[in-house]
Structures are given as C-alpha cells and as structure tokens.
Amino acid sequence: MSRIDTQVLADRYRLLNPLSEGGAGTVWLAADEMLGRDVAVKEVRLPPDLDPARRQEVLAAALREANLAARLRHPSIVTVHDVVVDQERPWLVMELLSGASLEQTVRDRSPLPVHQVARIGVGILGALGAAHTAGVFHRDVKPGNVFLTRTGKAVLTDFGVAVVDGEVTSGRTGHLIGSPNYIAPEQLRGERGGPASDLWSLGATLYFAVEGMPPHPAETPIAAIGRVLTEPPRPPERAGGLGPLLMSMLDPAPEARPSFDAVARSLAELATGQPAAGVGGVGGVGDTAGVAGMPAAASPPSPPPAIPAVPAVTDPVPAPVRPPAPGRGRALRWAAAEMAGIAVVIGVTFGVTFLLTSGPTAAEQVVRLSESPGAFSTPVDVCKLIPATRARQLLPALAGEGKPTNDGGCQWPAKGMGLEVRLPGTGKQWGKSPRQAHELFVNQRQSTIPSGENAWSWPEIQAGVRSARSTAPRAVAPVGEESFGYDVYENRMTGRLEQSYVIIRVDSLVLEVGYAVVDGSKDGPAIQAGAHTAATWVANALNNQKAGE
C-alpha cells in the first residue's frame, strides 16, 4: 500500500482507506470535510529518483488531466471535483463510484453476455462522443479505465494521456502511452490518432468484455505490439451478433472503420436483444453522411416466470454521435438509445434541447424557460416530508419519526420493511435551477440500467446482505413534474420483488423515493403501489412548501 505522511489534504480531504492500487498510484476513499461527502482521491505516485524535469512533467500531466476531465460533462464520464498538490505530489479529487472496473469484473467472474457488453458500449461511446465534441481524444480506452457502477452504468475514467485537438504533444512522444493490447495500430506507429483511434480501442475493450481476452492476445507487451501491427484480430468465439461489429471497429485502417452513428445503432439493437443490422455500406468515422432517425426497438425479453414483467420507458436519452471534423462547428444530431426502449430523437445542441417527434412535453417546455434558481435554494428537512403518522400507513410497525441519512435524505425503518427518500447524485441539489434538475433527472433515468446481480443490505429492517437484480426504468402514473420508477428483485432465493423506487422532479429538486418489503408480507404490485404512494406524499409536501403553505 502507498504510505503517506499526512491523512488530510489541503485541510479538507481526509484520506480513509485505499480503494485500489496500480503502477501509477493509489485511489483512496476520502471524506470531503468541507461539503460533508465521500469522494475518491487519486494519488499520483512519483518515483523517488525522478529528476526535477520529469517530476514537473508528471505534475503538469496530472493538472492537465483534471482540467480536461472537468470541462467534460456526461453521465458516463467520471467527474473531477478538484486537484491538490501536497508534499510535492498531485492528488485528483473525483466523484466516488461504487462498483469495479470492467477488467476486474471480467477477470474475477467471467466474460459478460452480449447484451450487457452492448449496453456498456453505448455508454462509453456516448462519453467519447462528448469528449470528441469538445475536441478531446482519450487515447487510453481500455478495460481498466471503464468502471461499472452498482447500478450497471459504465463510466469512462482516466484522461491522463488525452489530447486536445490542435494541442502540441511533442513533449510526450517519447513515451508509449496506454496498454499495447488496446492501442490502435496508427498510434503504435507513432501517429497522433483521433476519434477513429478511440473507436478502435473501444472495440478492443468490448472484445475483452465478451471474450475474456484482448483481440491480439500475447505473452508480453512487445509481442502484443507486433501482433496489433501485423496480424488480424483473433476471431471472436463468444460474441455472437456483436462479433462482426467488433471486427469492423478493429479494422487496421482508420478510414475503414464504421462511423460512430453506425456503431451506436448496432450497439443499441444488441443491447435490447436484437441482432445488429450490420455496418456494411456505412462510411468511416470521417464520413459526413448522417442518420436522420432510428427505428423503434423491441422491448427487452421478459424476466423469468417467477418475476413479473416490467414495461419499459420510452422517454428519450441521448446516445453518442459521430464526432465533428476538427475545427468545424456544426449542429449535432443525436440518435437516442434507451436500454430497454428506443425513441426517435433529433437534438440541435449537445445534451441541451430535445425535440421529440411527437413534440416536447409540457415539462420540457417549462425547463427550457427555467434557467434561474428554483424554489428550493436552501436545504429541505426531508424527514418532515412524510410524517410518522402517514408513514405508518405503509409501515404498521414503525416506532418513531424518520431518521436523517448522511446524504441529506431520510429513512423510516420498521421490522421487515422500510421507506427511504434519497437525493441522487452528490446529494447537494440546493440552489439548482429547474433546468439543472431536469438534466439530473434525465441522467438518473439513463443510468438506471438492468443489472444481473447486486448486493445490498438494510440492517435496520432486518435485511442482511442479499443478492438482487434491478430492472430498467418503467412508466409510472405522473408524480411531480417528471417521474419514472424501477424495481429490485431478490436474485437467488425467491425471485420476488422486494424494493420499488419512484424518482421524481419537483421544480428544482430531484428525489428518489423507495419502499422495501423483505419479509414477504406484500406482493410486487403492492410494493410498487406503496412506493408510488410515498412519492406522491413527498411531491405534495414539496409543492405545499413551494406555495408557501
């Protein structure tokens, strides 16, 4: 483990324990004592014998990574909060993610199924589209830099070797950057690389996810370089319909690789269990031919018989697009891809305005006009949103009032069942505008992806550690100004629904309302109805506060 002389950085970040360690440094769990939240802090390790010039180069690279990552906003890009120089070493302060890297997940378990790998691809392709739109090329997409959260969302991390379009990189050309198995051939030849290179690296990463090995397996890094430069990829054996797409992404000629639009289309189809339509006849990454829309995809397969089927939401979520040619500003077209349902969407600016084929909803029209701070500029006492007398309608054994949680939410635990209200994201939503809250709501919906297996516990309601799986977003009767729901089923023992959640937006506030019943006393529809009832109580209480009642 890494050894440090101090446990507090910048009189603010208290290091708690290491989360992971690699050749370049250690990632720590830390407490941000100023804002009262947990964060991840990346310690960049500098060898003791490093000469002053190289030390400055590493420090500058860390500061550069923070600056690059901070300017990118996308649900599948890790958020960098701060950078600190302490003891002449750089420390990057990032959002804390719960889960494991794609590399660790595959090595600890087994290769992933095709539909899950496709979902991962959709998320990372979206992150790359956002980066490329900002003129940033990642250059180190690999399994170790793709993080899978407990909710199933894929997040792209580590922009340490990224370059900005037009940036001079002569000072770094003496070093081989990235992992040889995941570096595009043109980069290994010493070329700068660009969007097509990131696409190749994504193809190699998804290949590893579904096959359990890189496309050019080799015993040593030198051997891997030779194979990438001179040999075709190993024919995939487990990839099924994903195989032809991966092989096209791994074409040695950048101009022969498919466009981002074509890859996005194919991945979205595979993510819902459909065979990919193929990428034949589609131009390369630099091709200017676009896609005006996407056909609606079929709903995902129904869950096993013991688990009730849950309808999918068809609200739009932005998916990746082909990056613009360097130096050219133009409107972007976004193909919308929801994991469990797909709608045709054309956006006129990156992640800002959605124009539905059926016309914008009333909520979206309001959001466009609501840029100023909303009604909830100071913290709300969340526990007062559901009085104990009302909570007992759902929790007959409830003994007292709600108990505040460390993220600003509240929980009402009782024997075998409980209610909770959470503030998704960082938990610090006060002072946002309705527009910002809408974006957070959309991000929450996008990151709610069906997962094969989770582990959760709630000791206060006598729920020990148990295996579970969560569903895709589902439509619910309207609550607040925007709402959707999802459910959590016990995965191994009974397959019964144990938790139901409804996420709502009221003005500038987004809240997640959950109802859990683990003693088997209520069936799935009753638990879903309970969550919806609690969400309605919360929305009504917030609207009353907003109206000054």
Specify whether 140 is catalytic: yes
* Integer Cα distance of 467 and 458 in angstroms: 12
String of DSSP letters for 87-139: TTEEEEEEE---EEEHHHHHHHS-PPPHHHHHHHHHHHHHHHHHHHHTTEE--
Six token digits for residue 318: 């932005």
* Integer Cα distance of 374 and 311 in angstroms: 32
Give the other-Cβ count within 10 Å of 13's Cβ. 23
* Integer Cα distance of 256 and 297 in angstroms: 27
SS3 content of the chain, % helix, strand, coil (to 5): 30, 20, 50
Catalytic residue among 49, 51, 140, 158: 140
* Integer Cα distance of 122 and 317 in angstroms: 11
* Integer Cα distance of 272 and 266 in angstroms: 10
* Integer Cα distance of 344 and 334 in angstroms: 9
Residue type, 1: M
Residue type, 527: I
Six token digits for residue 432: 């946002």
β-bridge pairing 80-86 and 25-32: unpaired
Six token digits for residue 547: 């109206």
Q: Going along 264-382, which residue ranges are E strands?
A: 345-347, 354-356
Which 3-state string (H, E, C) describes 133-197? HCCEECCCCCHHHEEEECCCCEEECCCCCCEECCCCCHHHCCCCCCCHHHCCHHHHCCCCCCHHH
Residue type, 492: R
Give the residue from 421, 395, 423, 442 showing the smallest Cα distance to 513: 421
* Integer Cα distance of 467 and 447 in angstroms: 20
Q: Which residues are catalytic?
A: 140
